[in-house]
Chains A and B, each alone.
Chain A
Amino acid sequence: MKWPTHESDDTEKWLSETLEAARQRTGDEVARRRIWARLEGLLSDKSLPLLRGRSLALPALTGALVAVGAVAVLWLVPATRFTHSSAKRAAPAVAPVAQPGPVASKVVSQELSAAPVRTGRGEKARVALVGGAGVELDANSVLSWDAERRPSVERGQARFEVPHQAPGARFAVSAGPYVITVVGTKFHVGVDDDRVSVEVEQGVVEVWRGARSFRLVQGDSWAGPIRGLEAVGGERRPSLASASLRRASSADTPVPVENGPASVELTAARSALKEGRSEDALVMLTHCAKGVGPAAENAAYEMGRVLRDGLSRPRAAVVAWVTYRTRFPKGLLRAEADLSILETLARVGDKAAALSEAQAFLSRYPNSERRDEVATLAARLRGATGP
């Protein structure tokens, strides 16, 4: 039986509407991402009891864990700071996780274990990474962590599966002199003696070298020379332009883009935002978004976040994200923009528009890890908007 029953009664009508709003209370997305990050750290220690937020034991235990963790990290970091050339000489800090036979499976925390993962002939390994990502290492492969704690494919083939990152966050993998950044996707990275290759199974990735980058979309594959890697200290590096790019789905070859000044402006905008200067950040982002390349795209997306979260202008934020996706229909942050529009429309009570966005999302991203979440919201919106 539906309740409240007498919707002609003002009080019951108010209750009915407010209960519906409570059903749509999505919570703070960033908070949920933060909890996930903390859970990963906590759950890597199996002996930790159920936490009680402000119990007396927790601060002491946390302090002890942090201290032990810090000592462990300090002890491990020097062992992981090796380049491709020195990796061949470096002995693993712990035994490799790969086991013979079928795919071996072991959770390796990027934060706590910095030992390279190596697979031998006929071996495979699956490694869990921070942020919910996973990687399957093929035979004769080496995965380590670089100086910036990013997973680094040293040799062989690796297939990465990366869930959607928190808005604004990116997941990065290094391979030789290149850095591959993603928001959420599946892709393969291969490294042999003289080249790095990337193949995108799903989503969009960016391949960076220094301040230059280009973008690969689903179905694309690319290979670039690795020569010059050992010369990080200043010898000649191959330019991105010399990399060979094979487009499986499109004829327009992406052009490497310089990101230098725009990146600086984007960084300044983010600093302003951290200091609570939302208006200043918006001015910088607007200027930066007028440029080209990934920094301009990031700025165009982040304008929406500043408008909604910093300046409490959700309608203007929706307009900014719609502008973003019109300008970057295959953008790296396209899915994030779609979700942000959907979430904001639902928050301001524009149920019909939110439902339409939710349905478009479900049809556009049938395999998205956020599918359940959006389907739940769509069902609720459908109930709220009627047949």
Chain B
Amino acid sequence: MNQQNPAESQRPRPVADDQALVERFRNGDPLAWRTLYERYSQPVFRFVSALGVPPEEREDAAQDVFVAVFRGLRQFRGEAQLSTWIYRIAARHASHLGRRRRMRSFLSILPWHEAEPEPQPDPAEKASELRLLDRLLAKLSPKKRMVLVLFEIEGLGVNEIANVMGCPPNTVWSRLRHARAELVKAARRITT
């Protein structure tokens, strides 16, 4: 089976190699850390947004991810791509926040518990289509959603997604197929 994501070839390759930047970071070059942040802050922001972290929590979420990256960078062995490793950290953190949100939502139905406020739309995102897409993605299971987001939005290949999620590539394909079908089905229900 072809494991190449067509969008992957369109992902621009970094001008300075990630590994070289990590080396510079380890050698105490503060500008290397800044470059890494500039390089990955946008993908991390987009990724946590697509995984359903609400606008008011995205800043904290992205910050947490970069604190973890900073802490772990000296131990990063380079066995996986740096991007894979950062996506893995971001995915775990977004999952953690999702579980916490679901727990809060569950608690909010208890009579003595104050109801959770509705998430406010991000004023920077005026497109209602994106908000609708977020609603549709929310109907997928967390694992299917993550596969779909990593493949269709982040443009990762199947092997890289398997590394991020710690599962075999065939499982990624299977989840992707189901996620696509469910997404189209949900979209049809809304648009027709």
Contacts and interface: CB of A to CB of B under 8 A. Distances in A.
Interface of A: 1-4, 10-12, 14-15, 17-19, 21-23, 25-28, 31-32, 34-36, 38-39, 42-43, 48, 50-54, 105-107, 128, 132, 134, 161, 163, 312, 369-373, 375-376, 378-380, 382-383
A28 B67 contact: no
A3 B63 CA distance: 33
A383 B9 CA distance: 11
Contacts of A27: 41-42, 45-46, 49, 58, 124
Contact of B184 (A1, A4, A22, A371): A4
A379 B10 contact: yes
A372 B130 contact: no
Contact of B31 (A32, A36, A161, A375): A161
Given A11-B184, A11-B188, A53 B60 contact: yes
A166 to B, nearest CB: 12
B14 A372 contact: yes
B6 A35 contact: no
A371 B15 contact: yes
Interface in B31-59: 31, 34-35, 37-39, 41-42, 45-46, 49-50, 57-59
A379 B42 contact: no
Interface string B54-97: 00011111111011101100000000000000000000000001
Pick the most buried of A15, A312, A373, A382: most chain B CB atoms within 10 A of its CB.
A15
Closest CB pairs A-B (n = 8): A128-B30, A27-B45, A53-B60, A132-B34, A105-B28, A375-B12, A28-B124, A18-B129
Given A22-B130, A51-B64, A373-B42, A12 B29 contact: no
Given A35-B66, A372-B38, A382-B10, 12 more contacts: A1-B6, A11-B191, A25-B125, A31-B45, A39-B66, A43-B70, A53-B61, A105-B28, A128-B30, A312-B126, A372-B39, A378-B12
A25 B41 contact: no
B60 A25 contact: no
Nearest to A52: B64
17 contacts: A1-B2, A3-B152, A22-B50, A23-B7, A23-B155, A25-B49, A26-B42, A27-B42, A27-B45, A34-B59, A39-B37, A51-B67, A128-B31, A369-B38, A371-B15, A375-B12, A379-B11
A21 B134 CA distance: 12
A294 to B, nearest CB: 26
Nearest to B12: A375
B180 interface: yes
A39 B63 contact: yes
A32 B46 CA distance: 11
Contact of A105 (B29, B126, B152): B29
B163 to A, nearest CB: 21
A372 B183 CA distance: 31
Contacts of B2: 1
Contact of A25 (B11, B15, B46, B187): B46
Q: Is the interface of A mostly helix, strand, loop or mixed?
A: helix
Given A15-B184, A27-B124, A51-B67, A35 B59 contact: yes
B31 A383 contact: no
Nearest to A10: B191
B20 interface: no
Contacts of A18: 129-130, 132-133
B132 to A, nearest CB: 7
Contacts of A28: 45, 122, 124
Given A376-B12, A379-B12, A48 B34 contact: no
Given A2-B6, A3-B180, A52-B64, A22 B153 contact: yes
Contacts of A26: 42, 45-46
A50 B67 CA distance: 6
B120 interface: no
B27 to A, nearest CB: 7
A31 B59 contact: yes
Contact of A50 (B14, B59, B64): B64
A38 B188 CA distance: 43
Interface in B161-188: 180, 183-184, 187-188
Given A27-B124, A28-B124, A376-B12, A48 B67 contact: yes
Contacts of B27: 105
Interface string B127-165: 101101100000000000000000011010000000000
A11 B67 contact: no
B10 A51 contact: no
Nearest to B129: A18
A36 B6 CA distance: 32
B87 to A, nearest CB: 15
Nearest to A105: B28
Contacts of B12: 372, 375-376, 378-379
B63 A38 contact: yes
